[in-house]
Structure 1
Amino acid sequence: MFKTRHIAPLALALAAAPAWAQAPLKTDGKWRGSINAGASLASGNTDSTSFNLGANAGRATDRDRLNFTLTALYGTKKENGSSSETANLLRMGGKYDRDITDRTFGFGSLDIEHDKLQELDMRGVAAAGVGRHIIKTEKTVFDLFTGLAYNHERFTTETRNSTELLLGEESTHMISDTTSLNQRLALYPNISHGGEYRIQFDAGITTSITKKIELKVTLSNRYMSNPQPGVKKSDTLLLTNIGYRFE
């Protein structure tokens, strides 16, 4: 788990400055996004080091949207002369959606994940479906969506291929002139193997420090009903970092 005790005090102090938050993507066709990073170092009875990196980029028009995301986390620990990894994770994905009507849209997405501590060498999920804009304003977007997904999982000891149903919701909110919130919840019932399922939840709150610098806190949870033997079903990350915004 990433430790925030060294970077959080500095980030919270900077957040007191005048700030501008990032609203839902403007529909002008321009690319916007941010790159965020955080680190933690500890020494004493236990020496540990953790690094995390996050990035997102997107563009939107009146009719369509394209988004890319990346999260990487790596950590090590040395105790009593013995070294071990505490984290080795990479997640990246892309999504394209296009409005069919003013309220209805179609989408396609591809997500790739690696998590050594879960014995997951690679998971690739390609999905397509339709969604509905329940709320669509300048400051708030709230969508419901459903579709089908193909899941290829390669673990240390086995490979799985399956078709999944996709059910979910996601939203972006401009809370104030300084803060924005986004969240996504997705359920993947397994069609090929009845009774098995996955759940993904991601949420983030961003406070701008200046027009280009931001403080971001993200919470992420992955639940899998059928993990590898000896691996827990639920895996949660809480990351705090400072980033640079571009447009």
Structure 2
Amino acid sequence: MFHTARIAALALAVAALPVWAQAPLKTDGQWRGSVNAGASLAKGNTDSTTLNIGANAGKATETDRLNFSLTALYGTKNENGDKSETANLWRMGGKYDRDITDRMFGFGSLDLEHDKLQELDLRGVAAGGVGRHIVKTDKTLFDVFTGLAYNHERFTHDTRNSVEWLLGEESSHKISDTTSLHQRLAVYPNLSNGGEYRVQLDAGLTTSITKKIELKLTLSNRYMSNPQPGVKKTDTLLLTSIGYRFGPD
């Protein structure tokens, strides 16, 4: 299902997507995050340019966590005088978790997305549910979760509204003092239109270059069983970025 599609142009981009690619947040109630910007430029038989900006921020206490993210990516290609877009998307989202017990938690989230190449003018997904901390230490956090989501999709020639079931897992691992890994897998079976579903897979590796500068490698996959006519079901991005980290060490 997670085969590579539409990756050739976008994989050249330098960006940071909202995958919360960092170690578990310190539970001191302080804001931490990073801002990212990048560009790629090619000249020759084919002229191409890709620009991006991204940011994420979060804070945590002993009982709750709050995260926000934003990414914008834009690219063009000029080949033999024929200019076209290779990327035109933005994604933003927020998520709040609160512990019910030491192991159980409730959550709510809101995600917004635009992707011109998918003919997606706007997707808005509001979700809520419960989860369980399978592993919860200073260096590793592994959660499983489930809930319900309301999905509003406005395409160029179509508008769809549906209720979805949300099933997923995510984990953050502090591999060393300078390197951390994060991954998240979420499946959205469509309850309004049986048999249809979406899958989102995000993984990120972050390595500190200095106390404030970090290198990020990101893998992002989006699968939709019922895309618009002529649009492929799978989008995969493999990206790198340089970011500036803010907040206490």
Between stretches 86-95 and 22-31, larger displacement belongs to: 22-31
1:228 counterpart residue number:
228
User: Matched residues in 1 for 2:44 and 2:102: separation?
Assistant: 59
- The structural deviation recorded for 1:43 is 0.5
1:88–1:22: structure 2 CA closer, same or farther, 3 Å change rule? closer
**SS at 2:193 equivalent:** coil
Given the alignment of the two structures, is residue 2 of structure 1 paired with residue 7 of structure 2, yes or no?
Answer: no
User: Matched residues in 2 for 1:23 and 1:117: separation?
Assistant: 32
User: Matched residues in 1 for 2:31 and 2:178: separation?
Assistant: 21
**SS at 2:161 equivalent:** strand
Query: Could you tell me which amino acid in structure 2 is paired with residue 224 of structure 1?
Result: M
User: Matched residues in 2 for 1:24 and 1:3: separation?
Assistant: 27
Query: Could you tell me which amino acid in structure 2 is paired with residue 29 of structure 1?
Result: G
Deviation readout 1:61-80 (Å, 9 max, x if unpaired)? 00100001112211000011
Counterpart contact for 2:22–2:172, Cα < 8 Å: no
- The structural deviation recorded for 1:52 is 2.2
Query: Could you tell me which amino acid in structure 2 is paired with residue 2 of structure 1?
Result: L
- The structural deviation recorded for 1:23 is 3.1
2:17 counterpart residue number:
none
Query: Could you tell me which amino acid in structure 2 is paired with residue 227 of structure 1?
Result: P
Deviation readout 1:125-156 (Å, 9 max, x if unpaired)? 00000000000000000000000000000000
User: Matched residues in 2 for 1:2 and 1:218: separation?
Assistant: 12
Moved over 2 A (4+): 1-5
- The structural deviation recorded for 1:177 is 1.4
1:160 counterpart residue number:
160
Given the alignment of the two structures, is residue 208 of structure 1 paired with residue 208 of structure 2, yes or no?
Answer: yes
Counterpart contact for 1:22–1:208, Cα < 8 Å: no
1:114 counterpart residue number:
114
Given the alignment of the two structures, is residue 27 of structure 1 paired with residue 27 of structure 2, yes or no?
Answer: yes
**SS at 1:117 equivalent:** helix
User: Matched residues in 1 for 2:23 and 2:166: separation?
Assistant: 27
Given the alignment of the two structures, is residue 179 of structure 1 paired with residue 179 of structure 2, yes or no?
Answer: yes
- The structural deviation recorded for 1:4 is 4.5
Given the alignment of the two structures, is residue 197 of structure 1 paired with residue 197 of structure 2, yes or no?
Answer: yes
User: Matched residues in 2 for 1:88 and 1:4: separation?
Assistant: 14
User: Matched residues in 2 for 1:26 and 1:117: separation?
Assistant: 38
Query: Could you tell me which amino acid in structure 2 is paired with residue 104 of structure 1?
Result: M
2:44 counterpart residue number:
44
Counterpart contact for 1:226–1:233, Cα < 8 Å: yes
Aligned Cα root-mean-square deviation (Å): 1.4
Counterpart contact for 1:150–1:161, Cα < 8 Å: yes
Q: Percent of pairs identical after alignment?
A: 81
- The structural deviation recorded for 1:36 is 1.5
User: Matched residues in 2 for 1:68 and 1:205: separation?
Assistant: 18
Query: Could you tell me which amino acid in structure 2 is paired with residue 98 of structure 1?
Result: R
Which segments of 5 or more consecutive residues in structure 2 lack a partner in the other structure?
Answer: 1-8, 15-20
Which segments of 5 or more consecutive residues in structure 1 lack a partner in the other structure?
Answer: 8-20
Query: Could you tell me which amino acid in structure 1 is paired with residue 10 of structure 2?
Result: F
TM-score, normalised with respect to structure 1 = 0.92
Query: Could you tell me which amino acid in structure 2 is paired with residue 211 of structure 1?
Result: K
- The structural deviation recorded for 1:22 is 5.5
**SS at 2:10 equivalent:** coil
**How many residue pairs get matched?**
233
Between stretches 22-31 and 165-174, larger displacement belongs to: 22-31
- The structural deviation recorded for 1:30 is 0.3
